[in-house]
């Protein structure tokens, strides 16, 4: 995996998908230079899949599991994760490979502890087309619903 590659997961419960509301500003993490603090996120205030960057020496599946633990706590870890597909996306000025997974949410929402972002929620098939979402996440969810036998007509983000 190349530096900057990503791994994200379509977490689902029945016919609903769990998404995270992205914050407007990055918060400084331990070890980051001060000039990186409060930098705007790409796609601020959008609903996105859970996931993040694949670290050096890490598989994309291990990155998804690490990110879920970081973002939602250890109870969020699904028993099974299946590769849904990959996409080459433009992030900033660089193209990156993103690995998309699908996994059932095996706990109740009350068991989750949001540690990143402005919130999370389950969205139904009918609600998803009307959300402000990152384009590659929208495509991954369309692919997921296509595999599950649900019909979902793609509509542009509002």
pLDDT of residue 24: 63
Instruction: Using the predicted structure, report yes or no on whether residue 33 has a pLDDT greater than 70.
Output: no
pLDDT at 153 over 50: no
Q: pLDDT exceeding 70 applies to what percent of the chain?
A: 78
* Mean pLDDT lowest among 16-30, 69-83, 89-103, 112-126: 16-30
Q: Which residues contact 126 (CB under 8 A, 6 or more apart)?
A: none
- Residue ranges and CATH numbers for the domains of the chain are 6-148 (3.90.79.10)
Task: Give residue 59's pLDDT band: very low, low, confident or very high (50, 70, 90).
Answer: very high
Residue 90: C-alpha distances to residues 70, 136, 138 (Å): 24, 10, 15
pLDDT at 98: 93
CA 131 centroid distance within chain: 14
- Asked whether the predicted pLDDT for residue 43 surpasses 80, the reply is no
What is the arithmetic mean of pLDDT over 47-60? 93
Q: What does the mean pLDDT of the chain come to? A: 81
| pLDDT number for residue 94 | 81
């Amino acid at each position: 995996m190349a530096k900057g590659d990503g791994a994200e997961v379509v977490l689902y419960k029945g016919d609903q998908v769990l998404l995270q509301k992205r914050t407007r500003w990055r918060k400084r993490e331990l070890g980051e230079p001060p000039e990186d603090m409060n930098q705007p996120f790409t796609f601020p205030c959008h609903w996105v899949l859970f996931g993040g960057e694949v670290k050096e020496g890490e598989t994309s599946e291990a990155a998804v599991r690490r990110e879920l633990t970081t973002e939602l706590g250890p109870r969020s870890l699904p028993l099974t994760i299946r590769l849904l597909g990959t996409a080459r996306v433009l992030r900033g000025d660089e193209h990156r490979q993103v690995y998309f997974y699908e996994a059932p949410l095996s706990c109740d929402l009350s068991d989750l502890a949001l540690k990143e972002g402005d919130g999370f929620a389950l969205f139904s098939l009918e609600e998803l087309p009307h959300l402000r979402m990152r384009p590659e996440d929208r495509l991954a969810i369309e692919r997921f619903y296509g595999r599950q036998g649900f019909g979902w007509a793609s509509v542009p983000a509002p």
